[in-house]
Amino acid sequence: MTFVQVIDCKTSRVDDVNRLMDRWVQLTEGKRTATHSIVGTDRSDSTHLVEIVEFPSYEEAMKNSNLPETDQVFQELVKLCDEMPSFTDLDVVREEQLNKALARRYFDEVVARDMVDAYDELCTPGYIEHDPANPQDTLGRDEAKEAYRELASAFDTQNVSLDSIAAEGELVCCRFTVRARHSGEFQGIAPTGNAIEVGGHVTFRCEGGKIAESWFNWDTLGLLEQLGGRRRTPG
């Protein structure tokens, strides 16, 4: 179970605390078990500093606390604070990374089930799509829908796997694999009935709970090879 520790401090030496946190990161490199750290100041009280540190589990957090480097930095932190810092220990019982969920919906509805009109719900009206496989540099939402309809008419999707997904701020990066059968004309190639497997990556930029922009990069050359088209040349 994910474990989170919240550290509340009162200090007028915020810059010094930030430098101390940088030092802790350097001292514990290769040793710490923390996976995520956020430090913020209270907008209504600039001397109120809060650090939120995430760990894979309570047990891993205890390993981190027992590092001599962690204890050393804590003792220095106490000296920088106006009063003794307080700690709140939290077992995470629910975690929703909403932008990741949005990306998963895109793959589940648009890619896996060819629900092209889901673009209207999942993407902003000003959505922009980048894909070097498209003849245009960028596509708007309606153009992206039309491009996907053409793709869906050429292939019967059998399986879509979201192989990895990572999120930071407004960006979500996905690595995916699509398995399908070539059932319609694609780039001038008549239906072959071939089973194909194509991998790719996409980065989504999310805004207000919707996808505002995307950057696709998938193995179009590998796809054409599986359809009996171009061949890779060595070198």
Does 165 share its domain with 78? no
Task: State the Cα–Cα distance between residues 53 and 66, nearest whole angstrom.
Answer: 15
The confidence score (pLDDT) of residue 229 equals 63
Structure tokens at 75: 């003792």
Condensed to tens digits (0 to 9), the pLDDT of residues 125-173 reads 999 999 998 888 899 999 999 999 999 999 999 999 999 999 988 999 9
166 inside domain: yes
Which residues of the chain register pLDDT less than 50?
Answer: 231-235
Q: What is the pTM of this model?
A: 0.76
Does 18 share its domain with 80? yes
The confidence score (pLDDT) of residue 232 equals 45
Does 77 share its domain with 117? no
Does 104 share its domain with 202? yes
Q: 198 lies in which domain range? A: 98-226
What is the CATH number for 209? 3.10.450.50
Does 36 share its domain with 137? no
Does 68 share its domain with 171? no
